Amino acid sequence: MASLRASVWHVAGLLGVAGGGVGCGVAFKPLVLEDARKAYLVDVQDVPVRTQVVFADATTDVWGLEKSPCKNIREVRDPVAQGQSALQLEWDAAGCPWTGMGIGWNAWLPKDLMPYIGRGELRFRIRSVEPEARVPLIILLLEDYSGKMASAVFGTHCLERYPLDSAWQEASIPLEAFDFAGQTCDPTNIKQLVLELQGSGAVLIDAMEIGPLRPRPEPDRSAFPESREALARGITDVWHRGHAGMWGLGTTPCRSFLAVPDGIAMRWNARSDCGDGRQLRCGVTWSDWRAVDLDAAPSATLELRFSTSSATLPSGLQVALEGWNGARAARPVADHARPDAGAPGHFTVALTPRDFDFAAAGVDPKRIRQLTLETATGTEGEVTLHSIRWIHEN
């Protein structure tokens, strides 16, 4: 740190101490003061990780409780996991620009979550509204006071058991699962927790908190959903105009995926500061989130139809098949595109399961849960998606 220099006039000789005499002359001269301060550094491993209540019995710091055609999020008094109230979330985000809610716990004061990374977790109690329900797709976002967000995905891997039913259970996700660095979100200055609700769902949430990691037994994965559904013979529509269930639509600083009359208009500029791609994707399931066995249909054709103002499809757009473990095997759509005869600017993309390197990506082809479209970092482009379907004739 640079020295702090000050010209301080020193009164010399006004009170002479040498020889015990009293000086009668006054001499002024500058004194240089050196600032010996050093940067104050704290090892976060020495900072205690205390439990912070995010939601419990009060909606003072909660927004998004208004009812709309897309959602009905409200405080309820029964059933509850603990205390006096819980949050009931019911939604169908199809055709909606954005659906969700947020909690600015601790009276919206800035929260320092740096000590919790690697040592803490977000946890809450959850149950279905109905006797049993599929696990909904919820994007968890921690937003800092500059407006940047670190995201993590809530899914089956967060549960302590399966299925999601009318009995309360604990869900947890470690704070290190949020990509603060990749998405340039400041963990020392957190404003709120946002829940982006994708697809549709109906759950109750209670007793939400951020606290130390808890030791807990490994969930019984054998009870989690295994592949029980084969790819249907004939044509299976994955997505078409007016189809519900495409998640990830909306606009961010790095991309815009919006429903238009003839499909989904996709525009992106995936700069290096856009993170690792979590917010550069959209996706859809064609099996109501049940695992699908593509290993038994190696010659089936996945067909996607696009249009663009360019002579070719952008190289940065990829189609991926995601396994139940969250891993994805992706292929560039431009590598499998052919122009449609008599329709300038229109392309058909055709792939088979053999085109995806499932083994290298760590994906089990017998347990595919959804298709995603994603844009590679460092690329930009613009297309309109018109339809996605499987053709399984043999």
- What percent of the chain has a predicted confidence (pLDDT) above 70? 82
Query: Is 283 found in the same domain as 160?
Result: no
Residue 21 confidence class, pLDDT cut points 50, 70, 90: very low
Query: What's the domain range around 27?
Result: 1-41
Distance CA 212, CA 122 (A): 9
Q: What is the pTM of this model?
A: 0.57
DSSP letter for 157, please: G
Count of domains observed in the chain: 3
> 214-220 contacts: CB < 8 A, separation 24 or more?
214/121, 214/123, 214/172, 216/160, 216/170, 216/172, 219/159, 219/160, 219/161, 219/162, 220/161, 220/162
Residue 68 confidence class, pLDDT cut points 50, 70, 90: very high
Query: Is 370 found in the same domain as 340?
Result: yes
Question: pLDDT tens digit string along 112-152?
Answer: 999 999 899 999 999 999 888 878 888 899 999 999 998 88
Query: Is 111 found in the same domain as 241?
Result: no
CATH number of the domain where residue 247 is located? 2.60.120.430
Query: Is 216 found in the same domain as 262?
Result: no
